Structure 1
């Protein structure tokens, strides 16, 4: 299977509007983005790739400032938007347009539901289903430079060239397996999570070590993670540029009360102490640092042997069901999902949607034993 390497470069508002008018008549569009995030909190959009009916367009967001027509195109529920592993791309669309695509089809999700493997990369999926082998050389390229090199353009084109073919194959496989609704549910979850985001007060849950902390230290960590998130957003710098995760974990145990004590925290930049130290200490001393008693959401009590044994039995049951229907166990139910099923059943994805009839009753039976 060989396709032309040609593409059209869109670098004006008028050209983008004309493209969107043509593309609006199609039933499916394939999309990807390139962005840079090395020194910022928000992604810097560098390129948008669009495959519209086999014609490929590279859209330059550095030259375009009117995206209303493109936003309307992406918001059209009658047009399928095909992407691969698109959670980070959602941030780019939100940055440019304050909105997200409707009728999303993520080929990584679809591939997992068809039994091709969990979290399969685009290159591997293309090789597996289409026997085409793509280069990976431009993944860390300087996408904000202009003009783009021929190699960059070739790489960007390939990122959407094969998506329609993957879409056709995976749609057929989903149909044969009666899993098209499963895929729609999972893609809708991606969009819902993108819209909702993670509250500043819940950022601490992303640190695995939070579960090992005392209630007092955990309360301090929650406050400091929220403080860091707000500051990073305000200054548009990476969170780690303010204070790293490792440093925060050290601080909540040491509880420094002066800049000098703060300066001795693990791996802390002295520039961060000078710039943000007073604010950090004020947060640490504030009433925001209330203890967080009890278990973290989705984290089993480490000392509870019966609880650990229950989770192990639930994992074994989940593996058995996944193997029986040819699914990667990770998409059916991760350990965190199982623990959430114990603690807040109705909030767990296992108790909702397509997973529920496969697994919920079996896990309920284990919980009642």
Structure 2
């Protein structure tokens, strides 16, 4: 099993992938301690051929792989693809198209909401995933054979899973049901990291302007802090804390210590002053200042009609 580490090796492999109707893709990345994900490994497969790509290899030109993502004649198949697409969008400004998410396909086929890849491997491909390398630091080199085998399994089993689900959806006439969800996943707005849109991630809506305004401004403030300091959002302020602060309407920093979801001692941190400014800005927003409710897309109501 080889890891592609040069532009020449990558281009040779990509020439073969360019001949396929579809490719299965997955990534390994790190983001536990950062806001921006660090792409560490790319797995890609087609019927009869698969490869591992090292995006961290010195001097490697990833253009050949990115051309596959853009090729309108190749269907890109992923599982739970949102974070993978987010990475490609940040790294190269690309949203893979056309594409298919087997997690969504499985939901429409009746496998349940957000089924894991491991579960589909067992139920559809009759395989198993060795969990021994699950907690690998994918940024470290060299990667051993067990780690590479584990990573490659994320796209090799995916071929059988995709073809099985695709056949089921064609037989039942439900393939078109996926279009709305796929449109959302391939919409650039979905991956807009603008602080002004950060409130949409919370999936929280309140008709009271003085509360929703604070939610919007707190989410904006947190997003700016997280991006600037390259820290996970929840390291700055948890989602529950944003909602609690908006509902409790604190008048001074000392009020934060009375809230369950806000860490003790928050009033003495570097965040307290900025947080109070965001709260004050949110209180000033009127109903006319608030954006329209965010139309979160769901398939579940459709499935309930079966």
TM-score normalised to the size of structure 1? 0.70
* Structure 1 segment 1-369 matched on structure 2, within 5 A: 7-63=1-57, 65-192=60-187, 195=190, 197=192, 200-207=195-202, 211=206, 215-252=209-246, 253-257=248-252, 261=254, 264=257, 266=259, 267-268=262-263, 270=265, 273-286=268-281, 289-292=284-287, 297=293, 331-333=299-301
What is the rounded CA distance, in whole Å, between the counterparts of 1:158 and 1:90 in structure 2? 19
CA distance in 2, matches of 1:161, 1:270: 49
- CA shift for structure 1 position 50: 0.8
Q: In the TM superposition, what is the alpha-carbon distance from 1:105 to its structure 2 partner?
A: 1.8
Q: Contact between 1:244 and 1:268, CA under 8 Å: does it hold in 2?
A: no
Q: Label 1:254 to 1:188 Cα distance change in 2 as closer, same or farther (>3 A).
A: closer
1:242-284 C-alpha deviation (Å, 9 max, x unpaired): 22234334433242445xx266353336578432333222223
How far 1:71 sits from its partner (Å)? 1.2
Verify the 8 A CA contact 2:216 2:282 in the aligned structure 1.
no
Is residue 138–residue 151 contact of structure 1 (8 Å, CA) maintained in 2?
A: yes
* Offset from partner CA, 1:85-139 (integer Å, 9 cap, x none): 1111111212321212111121122222222333221111121112112223433
Shift of the alpha carbon at 1:171? 1.9
Q: Give the CA deviation at 1:38.
A: 0.7
Question: Aligned partners of 1:116, 1:248: CA distance in 2, in Å?
Answer: 34
Provide TM-score, normalisation by structure 2. Answer: 0.83
Q: Which has the higher contact order (CA 8 A, sep 6+)?
A: 2
In structure 2, the CA distance between the partners of 1:191 and 1:205, relative to structure 1 (3 Å rule), is: closer
The number of residue pairs the alignment matches comes to 298
Name the CA shift for 1:189/1:24 in 2 (closer, same or farther; >3 Å): same
Q: Which has the higher helix share?
A: 1
Q: 1:209 to 1:173 in 2, by over 3 A?
A: closer
C-alpha contact 2:257 2:265 (8 A) present in aligned 1: no
Tell me how large the CA RMSD over aligned residues is: 3.2
3-state secondary structure, aligned to 2:23 = strand
d(CA) in 2 for partners of 1:50 and 1:208? 33
Structure (1 or 2) with the larger CA radius of gyration: 1
